[in-house]
Structure 1
Amino acid sequence: MFSEPSLSRTAALISTCRDAGFFVATAESCTGGLLAALITAIPGSSDVFERGFVTYSNAAKIESLGVESRILEQFGAVSSETARQMAIGALLHSKANIALSITGIAGPGGGTPEKPVGLVHFGMARRDGAIITLEKRFGDLGRDAVRFAAVMAAIELLVEAVQGV
């Protein structure tokens, strides 16, 4: 299902997390669980993968992760503010040390001039209090390519975060 390079990089993430004693949680919207699927495709991932949340709708973001409705109303589901709250919510609703969130517009529709297809926001929260957000604009590569690019960017963000501890 996944390419050998993506599996290899994810295996390295799992090894790094295992060595650091880190447990990971994910909160996904536009990727629909693909990040969790990639992580769990690696044998032994249960040593480090705590849980994943697929919160595709705004209601799911509110109910499962505690994203504030005012954030969704003011900034939209695809925003750094929402990604931040998704990551914090995943951390608070799990026993993970680090949580990563993804929310974006994979296409083919749904884009606007301000928020085009290919726009993805990431959030990362760690138990030590570190919180970051990141915006990537992958372009209108097609739905599958945007989703896969977001998943691989998330793997790299997690690797960097765990190695930086």
Structure 2
Amino acid sequence: MNRLATLPAPADADAETSPLIEVGEEAHERLRYTRDEIAEFARLSGDANPLHRDRDAAERAHFGEPIASGQQTVSRLLGLLASRFSRSDDGLERELLLLNANFAFKAPVFAEQDLHLVWRVTQLEPSRRGGVIAHADGRASVAGKPCVIGRATLRVRPAGA
């Protein structure tokens, strides 16, 4: 298992190498959904489950109030993954291709909760098509308790490779 994937530095950099992606590298985001955002996301995504907009339905399901659609939090997790690992803020432009992602739902996400998203690179291997294959573990947590957990496999390579 490689711990660091490196490429030649950009022409304007020293003769050192720039990391493409590293084992242990993390991406973080903090957010909070409003009740209106939860209902609107469900509507826009075609999720007609009343648990996302109807307090009575949520009470019958023992949630007490509407919950965010699982795909709402998954979409934010995937957006964070793509943004972080296709970045160019260090002078190295990257391309990312998501190869696989799996998610499990552990607890509901309610409006007005502080949600912490994180991805952590756990393993790297060379890609036959250039760059590296990275494996990452992700989670969305409220008050330190996981609500959604995920695993993803992606290919990261230099832009234009």
Same fold per TM (> 0.5)?
no
TM-score by length of 1: 0.29
- Greater share of helix: 1
RCO (CA 8 Å, sep 6+): is it higher in 1 or 2? 2
TM-score by length of 2: 0.30
